[in-house]
Amino acid sequence: MSERALAIWLLLPAGLLLGFVALYPVVRLIYTSFFQFQLTLGPEGSFIGLANYAAAFEDPRFWNALKNTVLIVLITVPGALLVGLLLALLANLPFRVKWPVRLGLLLPWALPLVFVGLIFQWFFDSQYGVVNDWIMRLGGERQFWLFKPDLAFIAICFTIIWKTSSFVALILLAGLQTIPKELYEAAQVDGASRWQSFWRITLPLLTPAILVAMIFRTITAFQTFDIPYAMTKGGPGNATETLAMYVRVTSIENLNFGYGSALAVLLFLLSMVITVIYLRYIRGADD
C-alpha cells in the first residue's frame, strides 16, 4: 500500500464520523442563514440572500456581543494558558503519591460547566458569597460582583480561567511527561540553571502541546455560553452577553432561525480566521 493510500484509509473513519454527524447540520445551518425564517412570523421562510448578514452589521446588540466575546478570548486564553502551564509544572514535580495532585488538576475540568457557573455565581454573590466574605474579613468593602458591568466581567473571566486552566494543564502535563529526564540531567551537568532548562528544554519541547491547548482554548472561548449564562444571564443590561448567548436567544427563545443561523456562521468565520493562523504552526511530516 502506498503511503498516500494508507493515509486515506487512516483518515477515512474520522471523515465518516464527522460527515455523518456534522455535514448535514452544518450545510443546513449555512443554507438557513440566507433565509428570512422566523417562526413567530409564520412557519415558512423566504430567500433573502445576504440580508441577515447585512442586518447583523447594523445590529448594536451583535457588535456588543462580539466585543464581549473577543474580550473574553483575549483575556481568558492567555490567562488559562499561563495558569494551566503553572499548574502543570507544579503537578509534574516528583511527588511520591501523585493522585491527589492529579485529582486537583482534574476536578475543575470534571465539574460540568453549568454547575461551575452556578457555583461561582454563589461565590461571587454579594451577600452569601465566599469572595466578599474573605474581602470583608480582610477589612475590604463589600463588592457587587454580579451586577456592576466591569466587576461582572472580571468575575466571569476569573471563572472561565479557573475552569479551563484545568483543561490546559491536563494537555501540558501529558506533554511534560514525555520529555525525557535525561535531557534535564545532561543540562544540569552542563551547568545550566533551572530557569535556563525551562527556556531551552521544557518550553521548546512543550510547544506542540501548548499550540493544541491554545487552539482549543481559543475555539471554546469563542463559544463561551454556560458560565456567563449561569452567572449573569448576560447582564446587567447586555454587558456580559456573548455571541453564543445571542445566537441561542435568537434561535431558541425568539425562534428567529434565519438570523440566528447567520450569527452562528459569523461566529464560525471569526474563530476560523484565528485558528487557521495557529494551524500553520502545527508540526507534521511536511515540515
54 or 174: CB nearest other proteins: 174
Contact window for other proteins (CB under 8 A) among 22-30, 49-57, 62-70, 73-81: 22-30
27 or 50: CB nearest other proteins: 27
Q: Which parts of 62-101 interact with other proteins (CB under 8 A)?
A: 87, 90-95, 97-101
Distance CA 263, CA 58 (A): 12
Residue from 74, 82, 114, 203 touching other proteins (CB under 8 A): that is 114
Least distance (Å) between residue 220 CB and other proteins: 8
Contact window for other proteins (CB under 8 A) among 19-27, 50-58, 65-73, 74-82: 19-27
Distance CA 287, CA 285 (A): 6
Q: What dihedral do alpha carbons 68, 71, 73, 77 form, nearest 10°?
A: -140
Does residue 160 contact residue 80 with C-beta atoms inside 8 Å? yes
Does residue 164 contact residue 87 with C-beta atoms inside 8 Å? no
Residue 56, interface with other proteins (CB under 8 A)?
A: no
Distance CA 55, CA 250 (A): 13
Residue from 173, 221, 228, 259 touching other proteins (CB under 8 A): that is 173
Q: Which parts of 211-250 interact with other proteins (CB under 8 A)?
A: 211-212, 215-216, 219, 222-223, 225, 232-239, 244, 247-249
Q: What phi and psi, each to the nearest 5 degrees, are found at residue 38?
A: -130, 110
76 or 232: CB nearest other proteins: 232
Residue from 79, 108, 117, 258 touching other proteins (CB under 8 A): that is 108
Residue whose cell numbers read 511530516: 285
The total number of residues shown for the chain amounts to 287
Contact window for other proteins (CB under 8 A) among 52-60, 66-74, 275-283: 275-283
Residues 126-150: b if buried by 16+ CB within 10 A, e if exposed: eeebebbeeeeeeeeeebebbeeee
Residue whose cell numbers read 425564517: 37
Q: Which parts of 124-153 interact with other proteins (CB under 8 A)?
A: 125-130, 133, 144, 146-149
| Dihedral sign of CA atoms 273, 275, 276, 278 in order | positive
Contact window for other proteins (CB under 8 A) among 51-59, 62-70, 72-80, 114-122: 114-122
Least distance (Å) between residue 75 CB and other proteins: 18
Least distance (Å) between residue 118 CB and other proteins: 7
